[in-house]
Amino acid sequence: MMFRTPTRRLVLGGGLATAAATLWHPRAALAQQAATLQLSWLHSVQFGGSYIALQNGYWRDAGLDVSLLQGGPNAPVEPPVVAGTALIGISAADYTAAAVTQGAPFRIIGVAMQKNPFAIASLPGNPVNAPADLVGKRIGMALANMPVLEALCAINGVDVAGIEVVPTQYDAAPLVQGQVDCLLCWATDLPVAMEIQGVESVTMLLADHGYAVHSQTYIATEDSLANRRAELVALMAGEARGWAEYQADPAAAAQLTVEMFPDAGLDLPTQLLQAERQLPLMFSDLTAAEGFGWFTDATVAANVETLALLGKPVTPDLWDRSILEEVHG
């Protein structure tokens, strides 16, 4: 039997080799994979769970260096995701469906808002409590959202011709000024703004009247799903942990948001109220049982049905649960 006696040369050589290896891959063990999450709007507690994940290092621990890109009025989510600038984008099922019709290779890999946040806001003196109340009213909305109103009317058997549509900018002023009787908006922004300004309002959530469209959905390209799975799983796992903490203490999330973005002009009372208002939209019996972001064949089927009414026919293949299954598995 021949043993290689440890000679000086061998030790030296081994040492040099090790040193060379560490020089060559100086931080192989610590290497952080860069990944970008494209948010759908300006920073606010709307993305509170992501801020918690970032702050607590959930992504860093998984070897992911995540940057959060905020959106804006002229910053659509789809282009950076298609271009590969962002790994994951936060969109909504109807926008994603439209983009897919135009040839974008997207899949929905998670659903943050189980209930769609679209609502009709009105003033208590002339309230809209049910879709039937819309008839004879002037509704202020962006014309781009016309399919939303049409779908709501179709689902509830209301004649859309009986509603006067007034194209407005996205703010509550036209309602307060009496230019319109109600607004199509998110339940979590304009009604919150009005309440903070001392204007009482009535909101009717479209999701409570059959409008089933997943919102704040996580989208990724088919290419990323095939080639960057580990990063997708790590990113979504961080999201799930962050949002679980958000659910436990939304007030802390609002506080964190205000502190994290001192230049955003956020104020704590608004963020606190918004954080509270979006809780019931994001967390349900389904997420309690299966985990954050979950969707089932049944919820997907309901979405497919509503999207068809919106003129955006899609198949259930648009949704891909494999990433979530790894995250929660």
Partner 1 sequence: MPAAPLFGRRLTRGLWVLLILLCWEGLARLSASAFVIAAPSQILHYSATHADLLWRAFLTTLWAAARGFFWGNLAGVTLALVAVLLPRSERLLSTLALLVFCLPLVATGPILRVLYGPGDGPQVTLAALAVYYTTFLPVLVGLRAVPQGWRDLVRSYGRGGLTLLREVRLPAALPYAVAGLQIAAPAAFLGAMVGEFTGAERGLGVLTVRAMRALDLPATWSIAVIAAGASVAAFSTIGALGRRLDLAPPEVLLAAPVARARNRWEGPAHAALATLAVLMLWQGTMDAFGLPPFFAKRPGDVWDYLVTDAAARARLWDALAETLSMAVPGYLCGLAAGAGLAMLLVLAPRLSAATLPLAIALRSVPIVATAPLIVWALGRGGAGTVTVVAMMIFFPTLVACRHGLARTPRAVLDVFAVYAASPLRRLLGAQLAAMLPAFFASARMAIPAAILAVTTAEWLATGRGIGALMATVASTSDYNMLWSAITLIGLAAVLAHALVFALERWVLARTNPEQLIR
Query: Shortest Cβ distance from residue 256 to partner 1 (Å)?
Result: 17
7 three-state secondary structure: coil
Tokens of 234: 């790590």
Among 211, 281, 232, residue whose Cα is nearest residue 107? 232
Query: Shortest Cβ distance from residue 280 to partner 1 (Å)?
Result: 22
Q: Does 269 bind partner 1 (CB under 8 A)?
A: no
Q: Does 150 bind partner 1 (CB under 8 A)?
A: no
What part of residues 158-177 is at the interface with partner 1 (CB under 8 A)?
166-173, 176-177
Q: How far apart are CA 188 and CA 280, in angstroms?
A: 11
Q: Does 268 bind partner 1 (CB under 8 A)?
A: no
Q: Does 264 bind partner 1 (CB under 8 A)?
A: yes
Q: Does 181 bind partner 1 (CB under 8 A)?
A: no
What part of residues 36-75 is at the interface with partner 1 (CB under 8 A)?
42-43, 67, 69-75
Q: Does 270 bind partner 1 (CB under 8 A)?
A: yes
151 three-state secondary structure: helix
Q: What's the order of all strands across the beta sheet hosting 118-122?
A: 164-167, 138-141, 182-186, 118-122, 202-205
Q: How far apart are CA 234 and CA 326, in angstroms?
A: 10
Q: How far apart are CA 15 and CA 20, in angstroms?
A: 8
Stretch that binds partner 1, among 53-61, 102-110, 290-298, 301-309 (CB under 8 A): 102-110
Site string for partner 1, 201-230 (x = CB under 8 A): ------------------------------
| Complete DSSP assignment for 24-57 | HSTTTTT--EEEEEE-SSSSSGGGHHHHHHHHTT
79's CB contacts (< 8 A; 6+ apart) are none
Where on the chain is the footprint of partner 1 (CB under 8 A)? Answer: 42-43, 67, 69-76, 78-80, 82-83, 85, 95, 98-99, 101-104, 142-144, 166-173, 176-179, 189-190, 193-194, 196-197, 199, 261-266, 270
